[in-house]
Amino acid sequence: MSNNRVEAVERALEILNCFTEDQSTLSLKLLAEKTGFYKSTILRLCGSLERYGYLTRQKDGQYRLGLALVSLGKIAQNSCDIGTIVRPIIESLRDCFNESVAFYTRSGNKRICLYRANANRAIRHQLEEGRRLPLEKGAAGQILLAYSGGEGEPFTTIRQQGWYTSLGERDPEVASVGVPVLTAEGKILAVLCISGLISRFTATRQRECAQALQVQAQGLAEQIDPQPFLDMS
């Protein structure tokens, strides 16, 4: 990782990363609790973020993300739109197993569900594109950590077998099987996952999912431009 870093910028980005789908507005107190920064520091950083439209302060004092991020998000998606490659693959996997399929990438200390094809059944693992999730729980997170220098278990086993099954790590009722999308040099770009109710993921089913995912992951690695994903990690 480059040593060309600016602490103030990283702190501002850490504030932005505090916002989630479940917590779209945050008070100064909550921001302080989440970041560990002094409130005076947060006020200064938020002032700069407000000035450029990345944050908005409501009348009640709560902060929410600003519209400038919407514009940047569209630009980023247009400049790195691999959806035409990824979507047909995750949709074919979904139709094959009738389970939800996702394409995750890493961004700092989180993983992002970049593309998603939810299962066509009433009881399924539902998740929306753009959702940020922790790295420490779930198949995708564990795989991203394993191929980013993670030591010990389960990271050693993940690298040896090339896939991982999460059984109730993030949600007690959900299982997920994931495989890495790797460059020819072994650098991780993303993770492909199939997820659903634990009761449907027998040992045999897990292996079937892993094998199908590995075939598609290899094809993806050969088609997508790796640089945007390496820049995000």
- What does the pLDDT look like over 55-100, one tens digit per residue? 999 999 999 999 888 878 766 666 556 888 999 999 999 999 999 9
Q: Distance between CA 90 and CA 78 in Å, rounded?
A: 20
Fold type of domain 7-71: Arc Repressor Mutant, subunit A (1.10.10)
Per-domain boundaries in the chain: 7-71, 80-232
Strand order of the β-sheet with 25-26 is 25-26, 63-65, 55-57
DSSP code at position 198: G
The count of residues in the chain is 233
The separation between CA 209 and the C-alpha centre of its own chain, rounded to angstroms, equals: 20
State the amino acid at position 119 in one-letter form: A
State the amino acid at position 102 in one-letter form: A
Same fold, 7-71 and 80-232: no
Whole-number pLDDT of residue 229: 73
User: Which residues contact residue 58 at a Cβ distance below 8 angstroms, ignoring those fewer than 6 apart?
Assistant: 25, 64
Q: Distance between CA 160 and CA 179 in Å, rounded?
A: 12
Q: The whole model's pTM is what? A: 0.70
Q: How do residues 137-172 score in pLDDT, each as one tens digit?
A: 999 999 999 999 899 999 999 999 999 999 999 889
Q: In the chain, at which residue ranges do the beta strands (DSSP E only) sit?
A: 25-26, 55-57, 63-65, 100-107, 110-117, 132-134, 164-167, 174-182, 188-197
Q: State the CATH architecture for 80-232.
A: 2-Layer Sandwich (3.30)
Q: Distance between CA 59 and CA 64 in Å, rounded?
A: 11
